[in-house]
Structures are given as structure tokens and as C-alpha cells.
Structure 1
Amino acid sequence: MKKKNQVFLTSVLAGTLVLSSIAPAGFAHDALDGSSKGERMPFDHDALEMLGDPAEEGSKNLKFLHEAGSAQIQEMDGVQNNTADVYAHKGFAYLGTHTANGANGGVRIFDLKDPKNPQEIAQFAHDVPHTWQEKVIVKSVNTPNFKGDLAVVSLQQTSRNNANRPDSIGGALLYDVTDPYNPERIGFYELDRRITGTHELYLTTQGNQALMLLSNPYADYYTGGAERDFQIIDVSDPTNPEKLWEFDPRELAEVDENFNGYHWSSPDGKTRPVFNHSVITDNNGQYAYVSMWDLGTVIFDIRDPENAKYLGRTEFADDQKGAAHSAALARGGTVLIETREVASPHGAGYESAYGYTRIFDIKDKTNPVLLSEFTTDLTYDFSTPVNTFAKTVHDPKVQGNTLYLSYYSGGVISVDITNPSEPVEIGRYTPDQADVWGVFVDRNYVLASDMGQGLKVLLKNNDNRSNNNRLNN
């Protein structure tokens, strides 16, 4: 695999991870809670010293994308929460919420029958005290124990293992949303209270078996090995989730048995954080793509979910901060999109750039080959010299040959990846005060979750008439 500088670790299995014994520090923005020992709070996207000022100038009608509808999430008990990720299923949008104003904003369901006027119809998953619900995945499931639409929701504590909050716990909630107007809680996979919780998660099926995949950052560290960062859970019976398999990045090579932290002294001489931030699978649930920050996107064969197997991973140049944040697939699972959430400043020895997108050929999943790196005008814009995530890429989604990227203050950027070796920006949606966390492509429209403004429904200008006709039928 060609890289612009000498890369670290050609194969994890061919070498040894040398990990330090220092306690976690300088982790990703939203991976740790703030309890004792100087640990960082979950990243608060309302803190302008971290996010930077929202874009005060924007356009709702930029080339190829325009805003067809918008809706702020409703207040709950007089509290205005902010949004996190967005998902869609059968004409309904599902918005997770972040930590603003005390968290516990739950998941909000919007009816998109009229995309110009989305209607919030239900709230759920907000009943565990002192938690936030960032990620929600919804799929149709047909198992011997459940037939219908199943929603899985990530649950994170706002303060990990807090003695003053004994009823707070992290993990994953499971809901029957076959009737989206009346979501019903049917299961809860609880994690050890010493873990913040499940940060992101995914839901897939293999025949008549339903699987939930969890990203539990620093689980092994906090529990002394009792729990692991990456877990595969059988939710074929959603009322009784059952753990099938789990993995910790230290299993990839021999390490000091006294290791008690998640810092990797990598071959390039840098100390790099390694933890599980996010996970997706292909449409058939055969392969899992796990975003393990500076270890890269790690690929597993999960066709036998009780005996998953490591296949390969992406790698970084010496001067690149890793920060493998999220992933998406294209070309029938032969192309991998990897987004990297990198803030400013960057630290000595690293390139001066915010996080950008990398595209890999993964026909051979044991050896991902870098095809291209997609940057924007934001990538090298340091006009605001503060510690900020505002100009980094965040989440990717793909429809056909178009890649959609959420970009915080940059809004939503669409990219033509017909030739994945030469990605080309073809559209951008950047509203006033943009703070776009998530993006999702559903049928003929693109959904965006703006942390401060709620749900955005976007249409393509070049197909406006046909899109509106189809959406209203």
C-alpha cells in the first residue's frame, strides 16, 4: 500500500503493539466522561471554545442541494435539547440527542409524509437518568422471537460511575417501533457502570438472526478486562440480548500483561490513542468495519459471529493524526470511506489540517489500498485560531456514486465518487449557524441533523420537480 510518508505498522499481526501504562488523556472529543483523576468530560458541542463559532453566513439553496423542510425538536419538560445523529426508516426520521441542558433528550421520531413539514410524533429512550442518546439504528427484523421494526439506541452516562447517581447506567436500549407513533421498550443491554456506555452501535441481520454491534470506548480499561471495546450481541430475542463475542485491540498482538491504558507507542515514535469509536457492517452482515481511532478502520469477518476473525486495517502516514471516526461503504462493499475527526491545533509532528476523508479499495480486506484523500477549503482554514472541531469532517453516507459528508459548520457536502481515486465536490448545504452532526440518505432526500436547529430535509436542485412529486405520493 502506497503512502505519502513511512507508515506505522504494516500489519498488526506481524508485529507487537507497544502500549504505555499511562492513564488516558487527550482522548477523542466524546469518548470519556468527567469523573475523578482529571478525566475529560464528554465533548460539549455548545462550548464554543471547542467547537468554534457557528457559521453566521450560509445559504439554503446552494448548488445541487437545497432545504425543503426544517423542524426543531420539541422541548421536553421545559428543556431544549440538541440533536446528535439521524437515521431514517420507512418514511420516518429518528434523531438522537446530545448533552445540552442536562441531556436525557431521548430519540425523536419525525413523520416525513410531507417532507416540507416534518412532524415530531414521538419521543423515547429518555427514561434512564443522567444519560444521552446519540445513535439510533432502525431495521426490519424477522426472527423466531420478534417480527417488526426494531430500534437500537446507544446510551452513555453523563458522569461515569458516579456514586451520587446510582440509577445511571450505559449500554444499549431496544425498542419496538413497528408503530412509530407508539414506540415500546422491550430490552436493555446493560454495561458495567464503570464504563461510560455505548458510544455508537449498529444493527444487522444474518438470516433469521439479529445482531447488535457495540462500540464501548475504553471498556477494557475501566473494567480491568471484564468488558471489551467491541461486542457482538444477539438480539434475535430483543427482550433478552445475549453477548456472543467481544474484542479488545490489545488482542491483536502480544503486550505487557501489566498494561493499564489505551495509549499506543507506535513505530513512528508517537503516542497514539486506540479505542473503538464506531462500527458498521455491510448490507449482508458479513463484515464489520470498526473505527478504532489511531489504529485505523479495523475489518472483521463476522459471518460466524461467535468466532469473528480479524482481517486487516487501514493505516496512517507518520504526520497524520489517525482519528478514524466513522466509515461507510461503496461499490457493493469493495470501497471503504473513512472519515477522521481532527481538531485544531494538531500537535508537534503532525500536518496542519483539520480532519478529512480517505477512500480505500478493500476488494482484498486483508490489505486496504489507499485510493484518494478528499479535502475541502475548510481543511486548511485556520482563520479562527482556537481549539475547534468546527471545520473537520464528521460522518459519511453513500448513495450510488455520491458521498455525503456532515461537516459541522460546513453543513453537508456532497462528493462525486464515480472515480473513487478522484473524488470531486459537487454540492454543499451550509445554513446560517450551521452545526451539522449527522447525515443520512433515504430514498429521494437527504437528512441532516443540526445540533442547534434540529432536522433538515434536503433535496437536489437538479431533480427538484420529480423529487417533490415522488415524495408527496
Structure 2
Amino acid sequence: MLTGAVIASLLLPAGVGQAHDKLGDSVEKGVNYEELDYEFDGPVLEGTKNVKHLKEVAAVELEDHEDGYKTTMADVYAYKGFAYAGTHLTGNNANGGVHVYDLKDPSNPEKVSSFADEIPGTWQEKVIVKTVNTKHFNGDLAVVSVQQVDPGNEDSQGGFLLYDVTNPHEPERLGFWEVDKRTIGTHELYLTVQNGRPLVLAANPYTDYFTHGESKDFQMVDVSDPANPETIYEFDPRELEDVSEDFNGYHWEAPDGKTRPVFNHSTMTNEQGTLAYLSFWDLGTIILDISDPENPEFLSRTEYASDQQGSAHSSATAKGGNILIETREVYNPTKEGYEESYGYTRIFDIKDETDPKLLSEFKTDLVDNIEDGVTFANTVHDPKVRGNTLYLSHYAGGVYAVDITDPSNPEQIGQYQSEWADVWGVFVDRNYILASDMQSGLKVLQKNNRKNE
């Protein structure tokens, strides 16, 4: 399977760890979480366990690229009845773009357009769509991450594209935000609208390293005028008192004596767009107060046991923002000095955003399966939450449904797993769960409680 890790291996100098779906180092201050005795004391809403059966109601294969090579599917997002699927790199072939599907009939999704494939030598993994109303633009705005296959290609450039998808049948390019040419580009991103002001939070892995500190891995961009995006803030891990003296732009010499990778992999915000959650690999999930976007304030970050690979990959929130879900993409379960385990999920109480409290750790049946040798497919990937149900994309595991009515005691209540599952992303749209399978395309799933189906 070709992942962002392989791409990074082509771009990073020898001896430097690899990116996205691969880095497997972690630990922070040697915090011991062997006994989780902290319990969530917030409101516990009545939950539902009616997703035991996730029924596939549609499957749409992603067609080959027009130049004849296979294109694989990356993340998936849905908005106003349309699914937006990004694409992943296949070998050195890229430019799969974003594919748009009409979900009017979820059992028969219809592809209506594709876009964002115009920058040579790039791939488009992540897309977020939201309605924006500013003096410069009024409509549905899509932001698309753009990563370079080879920064040495003079024609390529990383960053993110901005498109008008008010009419999803005819996407129209509005602008492009460029990250430093020396970097891979923007890996994951998020679009939030704060008091009418649209902001893009861009995760640009290794930017600090590649630019020798001139640019940072996390940048926040005002896209009120999509044709002229403006960078308004960059986060520097050196600002953290317990990191500054032992951070060299990529590696962190942690207090427990281990050398840990540090880069921004993913970003998101709370519903109001006032809190940002940055997945910073071995620095954990960093929480910033961005209510004043030009002057964010660091609030806290999650930490790990000394034998735990951190690999903070993605996040989601639940219970009105009182709960933080952190997925950890650990690809190597036999790394010396750490527990033998693939990546699993951690759940935190963040009612006090300055002091995350670990509530529980959720492991699937795959994470301890190392008998067959190291395989990337057994780690957890992305989380999404709807009500009291957490959905996890899990590569070979497909999609897991987890009841978090009591976040201190998560319980697996469902799973979808096709014969050759390789699920990258998951998204909840109305009464359907969308899954993007890298190899076989878009899956539309529905909750089904009838035992005989």
C-alpha cells in the first residue's frame, strides 16, 4: 500500500523519520497511565446501540485516471447531499483531484464532477466544504489540500486550492494558497467560519524542518477573499516551555530520554471555531484558543506513557465539545522501547481545556495482531462522531462503530469490513455513513438492525 509515509521517505533526508501515516515514535513526559481512574462527570446522555449491523447500500468504484493509471481514494466529506472524495498518490502518479457524487439516492450515488487536479505533480487528499458569506464571496466554499510528489519539480507547488462549489456540477476555481516550495505541501486542513470570518487551518508536515524554522507546520489563513488568502498566524512548538530547549525543528529530545518526531499532521476546530486542535504527533494533540485568530493562546496538550508511541494523527470532539477523541497512527508495533501495539484511540475529558484528563483507551481486535509481521493496515486512522457513536476508519478493519455514551467505557457496537477493506476516511451524512476505501472507492453504509440482513 502506498501511503504518505512512502512519499515522505522519498523526500526526507536519510535518518529523518517519515511522514503522515508512518511515523511511530512517541512519549512525552513519562506520564503513567497504567490505571485509568479518572471518570467523566459531565452529562451522560441516553445512548443507542442500534448500529450492530452496518449494511452496504452502495459502492462506487473510482475510475482510473484519464492518462490510464489507477487512482486511489483518500478522505471523504459530505455537504448538502453531495460527497466529496479526495485522491491519494499511486506510485509516482498523482493528480487524481476531488470527485463529487450526488447522494440524492444514496443507494445509487452519481458522479457529477471532478476538480482540483490542475497543479502538476500533486495529490489532493483532503477537502472541506462550508457556506461562506463575505463581501468577496457568497456561496459554498471548498478547500482542498495539495501535496507535491517531488518538490524538485519546478511546475508543482504545495498548499491548498479554493473552489466555488455552490453548484457542485460546475466547480469554479477561486484561488490558491502556497506553502513554502521546499516543503511537501498541505497534508490535512480544516475550514471553520468564526463569526462570519472563514479561516483555514493548514497542517504542513515538516515545514519547520525543511525551511530551517523560517515557516511553521501549522498556519492559519484568512480566506474571506478566496482569491487572495492571507496567512495570519503560525504556531512554533518552541513557544512551549517544556519543549523549547530540546527541539531542533523536527525531533524532540523528550524528558524521558527518547528522541521523538514532532510535526503537524492534522487540524480541526470546535463548532464555534474558537478552539483549535492540532495533531502534532509526539507532542500530542495541542489545544489553542483561537478566539482572537491573530493572537492564539496555547492552552494544553495531551501526553503519553513512557512506553507509548504517541503518533497523534487526527481528532474529533463529542459531548458538546467536552470530550476529545484522539486517534494515533502507529504503524510499527514492535518498535524497541515501546509497547507492542498498533495505533489505537484515546478519549479525554476536556471540559477544562487547560487540563485534559484521560478517560479511556479504545483498542480494536487488530491492534495487538502482530503475529503476521508488521503491516500498516492494522492501525486506527480517522475519527468522526455523531451523537453518542464514534466511527473509526481502520484500513483493513474497515469502519468500527463505538458507543461512547459513557466515554470512560467505550464499547464496540458495530463494524463494516469488506473482503479487501482498505478504508482511509469515514464521514456521517444524515442516516448514512460514508467510507472511502482506497482500493475500491466510495462505500455508502446504513444502520441496519434486522438480524437476518
TM-score by length of 2: 0.88
Residues 208 and 261 (structure 1), Cα distance of their counterparts in 2 relative to 1, 3 Å cut:
closer
- Whether 2:438 is the aligned partner of 1:447: answer no
In the alignment, the residues of structure 1 paired with residue 161 and residue 83 of structure 2 have an alpha-carbon distance, to the nearest angstrom, of 18
The residue aligned with 1:269 is: 257
Is the 1:31–1:277 contact (alpha carbons within 8 Å) kept by the matching residues of 2? Answer: no
Match for residue 70 of structure 1? 59
2:122 paired with 1:131: yes
1:267–1:294 CA distance, 2 compared to 1 (3 A):
same
Q: Deviations over 1:315-354 (max 9, x none)?
A: 0000100000000000010100000000134312111111
Partner in structure 1 of residue 81 of structure 2: 91
1:226 equivalent to 2:202? Answer no
Distance 1:184 1:117, change over 3 A: same
Match of 1:362 among 337, 350, 356: 350
Report whether the alignment pairs 1:100 with 2:90.
Answer: yes
Does 1:153 find its partner at 2:153? no
Question: Residues 281 and 256 from structure 1, CA distance in 2 versus in 1: closer, same or farther, beyond 3 angstroms?
Answer: closer
RMSD over equivalenced CA pairs, Å: 2.1
User: Who is 2:281 aligned against?
Assistant: 293
Match of 2:113 in 1: 122
* Residue segments in structure 1 that go unaligned for 5+ positions in a row: 1-26, 46-61, 465-473
Q: Letter of the aligned partner of 1:29 in structure 2?
A: A
2:269 & 2:127 partners in 1: Cα distance?
15
Q: Is the 8 A contact 1:33 1:196 kept in 2?
A: no
Cα distance between partner residues in 2 of 1:290 and 1:36: 22
Matches of 1:358 and 1:106, distance apart in 2: 32
User: Is the contact between residue 31 and residue 199 of structure 1 (CA under 8 Å) also seen in structure 2?
Assistant: no
Q: Deviations over 1:348-404 (max 9, x none)?
A: 211111100000000001100000000111111113113x22111000000000000
Q: Distance in 2 between matches of 1:254 and 1:315?
A: 12
* Equivalent pair of 1:277/1:293 in contact (CA under 8 Å): yes
- Match of 2:434, SS state, is strand
- Aligned pairs (5 A) from 1:204-283: 204-253=192-241, 260-283=248-271
1:26-425 alignment, distance < 5 Å: 29=5, 32=8, 34-35=10-11, 37-38=13-14, 63-77=52-66, 78-101=68-91, 102-160=93-151, 162=152, 165-253=153-241, 260-386=248-374, 388-425=375-412
C-alpha displacement at 1:65, in angstroms? 0.5
For 1:184 and 1:174, locate their aligned partners in 2 and report how far apart those are by CA, in whole Å: 9
Cα offset, 1:75, TM superposition? 2.3
Q: Percent identity?
A: 60
Distance in 2 between residues matched to 1:329 and 1:36, nearest whole Å: 32
User: Does the 8 Å CA contact 1:324/1:338 hold for their aligned counterparts?
Assistant: yes
Q: In structure 2, how many angstroms separate the alpha carbons of the residues matched to 1:384 and 1:358?
A: 25
Q: Deviations over 1:44-84 (max 9, x none)?
A: 99xxxxxxxxxxxxxxxx93211010101222312320011
Match of 1:151, SS state, is: strand
- Residues 11-22 of structure 1: pairs in structure 2 closer than 5 A: none
Between the aligned partners of 1:312 and 1:36, the Cα distance in structure 2 is 29
Q: 1:274 to 1:30 in 2, by over 3 A?
A: farther
Q: Judging changes above 3 Å, is the alpha-carbon distance between structure 1 residues 30 and 303 closer, same or farther for their aligned structure 2 residues?
A: farther
Query: Per the alignment, in what secondary structure is the counterpart of residue 377 of structure 2?
Result: coil
Checking the alignment, whether the CA contact within 8 Å between 2:317 and 2:323 is kept in structure 1 is yes
In the aligned structure 1, how far is the partner of 2:218 from the partner of 2:7? 14
Query: 1-side partners of 2:255 and 2:246: how far apart?
Result: 20
CA offset digits 1:285-306 (Å, max 9, x no partner): 0100000001100000000000
SS at match of 1:29: helix
**5+ unaligned residues in a row in structure 2: which ranges?**
23-50
The answer (yes or no) to whether the contact 2:399–2:426 under 8 Å persists in 1 is yes
Separation (CA, whole Å) in 1 of partners of 2:222 and 2:99:
25
* SS of equivalent residue, structure 2 residue 294: helix
Q: Which amino acid aligns with 2:219?
A: Q
Return closer, same or farther for 1:257/1:396 CA change in 2, 3 Å cut-off.
closer
Q: TM-score, normalised by structure 1?
A: 0.85
8 Å CA contact retained: 2:280, 2:312? yes
Q: Counterpart of 2:32?
A: none
The separation in 2 between residues aligned to 1:42 and 1:187, in whole angstroms, is 27
Task: For residue 233 of structure 1, report the CA deviation from its aligned partner.
Answer: 0.3
Task: Give distance in 1, aligned partners of 2:343 and 2:228.
Answer: 39
Corresponding residue number in structure 1 for 2:31: none
In 1: Cα distance, 2:300 partner to 2:160 partner: 27
- Choose the corresponding residue for 2:445, options 437, 458, 465: 458
Q: 1:316 to 1:258 in 2, by over 3 A?
A: closer
